[in-house]
Structure 1
Amino acid sequence: MAKHMVARSVVVDAPAKSIFDLVATPSQHPVFDGSGTVQQAHFGPERLEPGAEFGMDMRMLGLPYRMTNRVVEFEEGRLIAWRHVGSHRWRYEFEELAGGGTLVTETFDYSRGQVAFYVLSGAPARNARGIERTLERLRVAAEAGGA
């Protein structure tokens, strides 16, 4: 694992394309978010593409806020990542396995920017727990055929 990144993976019994489609649809993010912060899509395209901007209504510690994100990495069916006002990235990678299923990896990459802030705020450990819950919820949604 690269320094200043937190990643977890799960094998999902579904094709990479269908899982990618869930993640590339902002209105579906509350369905699989395991952090408890994502409430609903506020604006943006129905489906993400390179450079797309999308806004999400969020809630943390009981306080509502809005976050605008921009897609900064995109490879159809294989990779999608976005960042917001902070320089860190949320990345999802999808690898179809020879024996069936798809290995899905979610990464919180905080290597660009204010590393000390993320470390001191406890973000890496908190986000690791959120990623684990997110991947489980994503697995359940994808294996059920979407949300």
Structure 2
Amino acid sequence: MTTTSRYLVSVSKVIAADRQWLFDILADPAQHPLIDGSGSVKALRPGGPGRLSLGASFSMDMHLTADYKIRNTVVEFEEPALIGWRHFNGHIWRYRLTEVAGGTEVTEEWDARGVPNRLGLVLLRFPQRNRAGMTATLERMAELAAARG
């Protein structure tokens, strides 16, 4: 299931895996390049926590047209159901995990509703680009779960 509005993109997929196992991947920022379907998350920068928690900050090496680094702060954290981090720009990357028949429904959200310059993000087509990357991320998570057995 995919929902796209002007400032919120939400993509869901049922993954045949334990909710805690999936949450553990999301709470380990070193795993983010492995699951990233956008191709923009390159590596965890040194100095951050090994496991995310509410208020934790971590930085990533990124690439989107050019190399850059970005610092994130965890602003939502309810283990093993919800984790979200905010970028400097104010938008939030959020994951909701719900137990369902056959595994876990994972919903990834890009939420720019609280961003002051959000119209610029829309004009640069971030909602559409992010939807494609999010769909690929959930596919990668499903592939990891399948490989794990």
Runs of 4+ in 1 over 6 A off after TM superposition: none
Normalising by structure 1, report the TM-score. 0.93
2:12 aligns with: 9
Cα deviations by residue, 1:84-137 (Å, 9 ceiling, x for unpaired) = 11110000000011x230000000001012221111110000000110011101
Identical aligned residues as a percent: 44
State the one-letter code of the partner of 1:106.
E
Q: Paired residue for 2:54? A: 50
Residue 144 of structure 1 deviates from its aligned partner by 2.5
List alignment gaps of at least 5 residues for structure 1: none
**Structure 1: how far apart are the matches of 2:70 and 2:45?**
9
The corresponding residue for 1:120 is 123
CA distance in 1, matches of 2:69, 2:141: 23
Partner of 2:106: 104
Structure 2 stretches of 5 or more lacking a match? none
Query: How many Å separate the matches in 2 of 1:81 and 1:49?
Result: 10
How many residues align structurally?
Answer: 144
Conserved in 2, the CA contact under 8 Å of 1:22 and 1:142? no
Mapped partners of 2:82, 2:64: distance in 1:
27
SS of alignment partner, residue 45 of structure 2: strand
Task: Provide Cα deviations, 1:66-100, integer angstroms capped at 9, x if missing partner.
Answer: 00000000001000000111110000000011x23
| 1:139 and 2:142 matched | yes
RMSD (Å), alpha carbons: 1.4
TM-score normalised over the length of structure 2: 0.92
The one-letter code of the counterpart of 2:139 is E
Between the aligned partners of 1:95 and 1:143, the Cα distance in structure 2 is: 18
